[in-house]
Amino acid sequence: MNAAFNHILIAVDLTEDAHHVADKACALRSAFSSQLSCTHVIEPLSLAYGGDVPMDLSTIQDQLQETARIQLDEFAERLNIPVEQRHLVFGRPETEIHGLAEEINADLIVVGSHGRHGLALLLGSTANGVLQGSPCDVLAVRVGE
Ligand code: AMP
């Protein structure tokens, strides 16, 4: 069994935490000479609000996408991640991250984890969601402390 990580996928929420998660992913990339890809998932407003908002959300959605694209590019530039390995996708983060990991043949997903407990843990987090049913190993980096 190959103990190295050949292709690491870092999932970023584009907050300050992402830099801390990136540091760990980069350390692993150096250790294993891995490929590094990154993704940010945009949750469609229609998914979050359904039909509850009586207005056309497409303009706001376009602006969110544009802002996310710029931020993901800035993030990826700093990490020297090539353009074709930057993935801005739409949907539910857990589902999309799993799908992308399979598609690009990633063998490690790196996410941040706020180390929630109690009710917050029961309600779930993205890190827990990614861990459950992941097609490959998952590293949850503690953030927000
Ligand atoms: P959360 O549970 O929302 O606090 O997020 C924990 C971690 O999940 C973040 O540090 C990211 O690694 C990942 N994550 C959360 N939201 C997203 C997103 N929209 N796209 C990609 N990764 C995300």
Residue 12 beta carbon below 6 angstroms from any ligand 1 atom: yes
Residue 38 beta carbon below 6 angstroms from any ligand 1 atom: no
Q: What is the pLDDT of residue 57?
A: 76
> Going by CA atoms, what residue is nearest to atom 14 of ligand 1?
13
Task: Give residue-wise pLDDT tens across range 69-95.
Answer: 999 999 999 999 999 999 999 999 999
| Architecture of the 7-142 domain | 3-Layer(aba) Sandwich (3.40)
As given in the structure block, the two tokens for residue 82 are 């090539």
| C-alpha span between 24 and 1 (Å, rounded) | 23
Residue 41 beta carbon below 6 angstroms from any ligand 1 atom: yes
Q: How confident is the model at residue 122 (pLDDT cuts 50, 70, 90)?
A: low
User: Which has the minimum average pLDDT: 13-17, 24-28, 75-79?
Assistant: 13-17
The percent of the chain in helix, strand and coil, each rounded to the nearest 5, is 45, 20, 35
3-state secondary structure of 9: strand
Residue 11 beta carbon below 6 angstroms from any ligand 1 atom: yes
Residue 126 beta carbon below 6 angstroms from any ligand 1 atom: yes
Residue range 34-41: average pLDDT? 98
Note the pTM of the prediction, 2 decimals.
0.91
CA distances from 27 to 22, 39, 46 (A): 9, 18, 38
Closest approach atom of ligand 1 to CA 112: 10
Q: How confident is the model at residue 46 (pLDDT cuts 50, 70, 90)?
A: confident
Closest approach atom of ligand 1 to CA 18: 10
Residue 20 beta carbon below 6 angstroms from any ligand 1 atom: no
Task: Give residue-wise pLDDT tens across range 90-112.
Answer: 999 999 999 999 999 999 999 99
Q: How confident is the model at residue 55 (pLDDT cuts 50, 70, 90)?
A: confident
In order, the DSSP letters of 34-87 are -EEEEEEEEPPHHHHHTT-S-S--HHHHHHHHHHHHHHHHHHHHHTT--GGGEE
